[in-house]
Amino acid sequence: MRQKRNTRIVATLGPASSSPDQIRALWEAGADVFRLNFSHGSHADHLERFKEIRRLEAELGRPIAILADLQGPKLRLGVFKAGKVALKPGQAFRLDLSREPGDINRAPLPHPEILSALTPGSDLLLDDGKVRLRVESCGPDFAETVVVVAGPLSDRKGVNVPDAVIPLSALTEKDRRDLAFALELGIDWIALSFVQRPEDVEEARALIGDRARILSKLEKPSAIDRLDEIVALSDAVMVARGDLGVELPPEDVPGLQKRIIRSCRAAGKPVVVATQMLESMIEAPTPTRAEASDVATAVFAGADAVMLSAESASGRYPVEAVTMMSRIISRVESDPNYLDGLGSGCAKPEANDADAISAAVCQVTGILSVAAIVAYTTSGFTTLRIARERPASPILSLTPNAATARHVALAWGVHSVHTEDAANVEDMVAKASGIATREGFTEGGKPLVIIAGMPFGTAGSTNLLRIVRVPRASL
């Protein structure tokens, strides 16, 4: 089943969407990638979902990517004697390492790494920013603060430190166990939470190697300070707007979203926009107009994918949410100015064979009415470089590597097929023509543009571009 839209949809599985029938319904509604959220559920739960996705993949004969989202460090307060307190503006409030339950004057903060990173003037955001404290004085085991934004505070509420790099690994012991489990299953993508600096990605890469691709979640202001370095080390990036919106002023997030998308486009790395995209559809069968506009903004900006979280995992209308997201994307992509806007966001091609060929392909598709760009690839690099250019024609990616076929399913405009590599140029043309016809890409009289590397099957050897007209007998 071919999706006739370019922007991909990532759908999170959960209690509302874990049965075989529900997973199939989400796929048929338009989900391209399934996300397993390791912040919730057991390994047994994720194993069953993984098996069902792979069963569906085998039945359909279509590569389906699976994304394992690691929880990352969760920084929280301790407990209060009365279960909760109500802080007032301007009052003094102490945070320390004592395990004694808190009261109106203090609370336990069992994270010495946070206290060690604070300086006078630092802000602490509690309970997703509903309460804000400013540090007056601090030491390795305490922080004396004043309440800037008051409100109720209860047991184990989250703590965010927006203006400090916390000396903490992005991988907790739980994450390491979850990662080992996910890699053993054969998960395609690992989403790395709490990325603060490039070293966090390097640490994950040392554990993962080439067994999966890394998607770095940008949810900390410190990560934005080293954005291009993190993008360069990652295989893909997620704009995690929920946490960014807690640690940064909400008005800053739209601009940062565009900046991150531009950085990923320049590097040729897929970028996913996530969090609260159709939030009201957790409870309602239709989104707000503002939510529809939010999805449209990400699509107009050139995101490779948009993501549903609770909407598809635990909401009342998971299939309807995917269907609505697909409809919004399709409507945006039918706008006559859509591709023109995307062209302005692309960086200049680099001085290598793959980029030269990719740029030439885009010129061809801008001149001719092309049915599809057929890209032979081993590692997926060629396919991603073409997708980076946001061409006017769909991309049919052919690869002998099943893992690669799943990896590129996250990328803009790519329809991925797992197939044997071509033996020679004649076989290349025949195979491309046959698969393009079978997958619904050929239209009478329109040519295919085929790109490949010779010798065939050699990664990084893209050096051939051929325009082919499919014989009408095979249409």
Residue 86: CB atoms within 10 Å: 10
Residue 454 has pLDDT above 90, yes or no: no
- Rounded to whole angstroms, the Cα distance separating 394 from 328 reads 19
* 176 alpha carbon, distance to own chain's centre: 20
Same-domain pairing of 410 and 296: no
CATH of the domain at 454: 3.40.1380.20
Give the domain-ending residue among 334, 362, 397. 334
Place of tokens 């048929």: 28
Residue 344 lies in a domain: no
User: Beta strands of 50-206 (E only): which ranges?
Assistant: 65-69, 84-87, 92-96, 106-108, 123-126, 131-139, 142-149, 151-154, 159-160, 189-192
The average pLDDT across 83-90 equals 96
Check residue 345 and give its pLDDT.
Answer: 52
| Pair 368, 320 in one domain | no
Which CATH number belongs to the domain containing residue 176 in this structure? Answer: 3.20.20.60
| pTM greater than the 0.85 cutoff | yes
Paired strand residues for 375: 397, 451
Lowest mean pLDDT among 90-99, 213-222, 444-453: 444-453
Same domain for 203 and 149? no
Q: Do 315 and 242 belong to one domain?
A: yes
Is 399 noted as a catalytic residue in this protein? no
In a domain, 255, yes or no: yes
pLDDT at 317: 98
Tell me if residue 259 is catalytic.
no
CA atoms of 419 and 400, how far apart (whole Å)? 5
Output the six-digit token pair for 13. 């599985």
Neighbours of 224 (CB within 10 A): 18
Q: Which two tokens stand for residue 260?
A: 């991150």
Q: What residue has token string 């309460």?
A: 131
Q: Are residues 375 and 281 in the same domain?
A: no
By the 10 Å C-beta count (0-12 exposed, 13-18 middle, 19+ buried), 241 is classed as: buried
Residues 317 and 231 in one domain: yes
Does some domain include residue 93?
yes
Tens-place pLDDT, residues 40-71: 999 999 999 999 999 999 999 999 999 999 99
* Banded model confidence at residue 202, pLDDT cuts 50, 70, 90: very high
Residue 460: per-residue pLDDT? 66
Q: How many alpha carbons lie under 13 Å from residue 273 in its C-beta half-sphere?
A: 29
Peptide bond before 455: cis, by omega within 30 degrees of 0?
yes
User: At 150, which CATH number?
Assistant: 2.40.33.10
The CA-atom distances, in angstroms, between 200 and each of 175, 220, 371 are: 13, 12, 42
Place 355 in a pLDDT band, splitting at 50, 70 and 90: confident
Q: Choose one of 140, 160, 180: the last residue of a domain.
A: 160
Q: Is residue 12 part of a domain?
A: yes
Q: Residue 94: is its pLDDT beyond 80? A: yes
- What is the percent of the chain where pLDDT is above 70? 97
Same domain, 134 and 216: no
Same domain, 186 and 217: yes
Tell me what the mean pLDDT of segment 207-235 comes to.
Answer: 96
Q: What whole-number distance in Å separates Cα of residue 160 and Cα of residue 352?
A: 43
Mean pLDDT of the chain, nearest integer: 93
| Number of structural domains the chain divides into | 3
35 is catalytic: yes
Residues 438, 396 within the same domain: yes
Q: How many Cα atoms sit within 13 Å of 466 on the Cβ side?
A: 19
**Average pLDDT, stretch 447-472?**
82
pLDDT at residue 474, rounded to an integer: 52
- Helices vs. strands in the chain: H and E counts, helices first: 17, 21
For residue 187, tell me if it sits in a domain. Answer: yes
Do 358 and 380 reside in the same domain of the chain?
Answer: yes
- Among residues 24, 76, 211, 258, the one annotated as catalytic is 76
Q: Which of 62, 217, 269, 388 is catalytic?
A: 217
Residue 177 in any domain: the answer is: yes
pLDDT at 472: 61
Could you tell me if 195 and 131 lie in one domain? Answer: no
What is the extent of the structural domain holding 424?
Answer: 353-474
pLDDT at 453: 83
The single residue listed with the structure tokens 């089943």 is: 1
Is residue 3 domain-resident? no
Q: Is the pLDDT of residue 346 over 80?
A: no
* Predicted confidence band of residue 242 (pLDDT cuts 50, 70, 90): confident
pLDDT at 319 over 60: yes
In this structure, the answer to whether residues 63 and 96 fall within a common structural domain is: no
For residue 281, pLDDT over 80 is answered with: yes
Task: For residue 458, tell me if it sits in a domain.
Answer: yes
Report the alpha-carbon distance of residue 451 to residue 382 in Å, rounded.
Answer: 9
Q: Which of 7, 145, 275, 383 is catalytic?
A: 275
> For 292-310, what is each residue's pLDDT tens digit?
999 999 999 999 999 999 9
The pLDDT of residue 344 is 56
Choose, from 35, 265, 390, 431, the residue flagged as catalytic: 35
